[in-house]
Structure 1
């Protein structure tokens, strides 16, 4: 049986809609709890797919969260092996950090739903499967592009929404994975951040209800194409 290992930083920011897709493909899905489980004990040779999930901390906050150093080292090791790797939001930022790029505050919060504008480099990639579907964005930091890499997509607030270190690795700043039926956990867990950004849960809840079916379909198209490519 193939193994998918997800590095999880916050209990409710899990694989979401991606998990049943992986199980349908015959994956055993496991979670590595960041800051609790030992990154040094992870045997990446036994991992067919590594997914690095989101969370509310800053990539460059190693002083407060010393285990980030080991986690970045684990991601760097995975990148060097050129084996399948997917990073989502904080996960994409950690990938950029592992490749020597900076991650800095944007000065604003990008929280809500908006479609991606694909760059010239993004045209024809797996991101084209999203079409014009508005995606969920929830971040206040942004990654700089690692040396020699191109931005694949952008929004008005954030010029780098995706990058691909190689054909089997993909970093996504946005959140395609969130299960609509569990979105309430996000609203509860991040209520302080929403209040600071003057965004009400009702606003986001209404849009999620409207976009839920489109989000499911877009993620399915994206992941099917990317997994076919990454697992060759």
Structure 2
């Protein structure tokens, strides 16, 4: 039986993102739940070897009004008791940070972070985060690394960009899963957000994509080796 990864998505629509591609290339089966569309999260986690929580237009502050976000927070707490790998991207990272008691909210100057921006490693992030890498962002809020976690990367707009909790829970504020097709859909659906302070124009983003998308994919491949490695069903489920 193939090892299985649960994917939690907040936005509708099937997307072949680069995290999914990396998992499939390693032999993992993907079980995707669109929770905003009414998909339930599994009660038990014994059938899964890892989980990925993706981004979305929702905000952590909506946990009190969107029942599915409240259920997701509870599920995150249950999952982390298993010590199985968990990866949160953008909103997913903010949800994990919130579940662990970290602060999530808007920029102090109400800036957006949309486009390619640099990040740099902290001492704890050395070896995992390159000294110079441009990563893709699309968010209006950010997290502070939660208590008892290790801050891995900093950025010039939203300072906290990546954290690790325990052995294998990671939160990334940026979007290494991005593809040109996904970016194009965001630029179309979110064109109004490009007028916000801190957002790069469509032209700036496309020019940066030509330069930085491939290196970001190379980084993701190495990161996935660190996060989930080449683990098999037996090694992961025994952890």
Fold equivalence (TM over 0.5): yes
**Partner of residue 56, structure 2:** 55
The answer to whether the 8 Å contact 2:145/2:162 transfers is: no
What is the number of equivalent residue pairs in this alignment? 229
Name the CA shift for 1:211/1:12 in 2 (closer, same or farther; >3 Å).
Answer: farther
Change (3 A) 1:58 1:162: same
**Which position in structure 1 is the counterpart of 2:214?**
213
2: CA distance between counterparts of 1:123 and 1:166?
Answer: 17
The question of whether the paired residues in 2 share the 8 Å contact of 1:93 and 1:143 is answered with: yes
- Deviation of 1:131 after TM superposition, in Å, equals 4.9
* Counterparts of 1:156 and 1:229, CA distance in 2: 33
The answer to which of 154-163 and 203-212 deviates more is 203-212
Partner SS state of residue 17, structure 2: coil
Shift in CA distance, 201/13, structure 1 to aligned 2, threshold 3 Å: farther
Please, which moves more after superposition, 217-226 or 72-81? 217-226
Instruction: Tell me, yes or no, if structure 1 residue 177 matches structure 2 residue 170.
Output: no
- Give the one of 100, 107, 120 matched to 1:117: 120
Structure 1 unaligned spans of 5+: none
Structure 1 partner of 2:165: 165
- Conserved in 2, the CA contact under 8 Å of 1:4 and 1:49? yes
1:34 alignment partner in structure 2? 35
Match of 2:23 in 1: 22
Q: Cα offset for 1:195?
A: 2.9
Matched, 1:149 2:142: no
Return the TM-score normalized by structure 2: 0.87
| Deviation sequence 1:149-202 (CA, Å, 0-9, x none) | 231110111221111111111111111110124321111121121233464222
Moved more, 155-164 or 205-214: 205-214
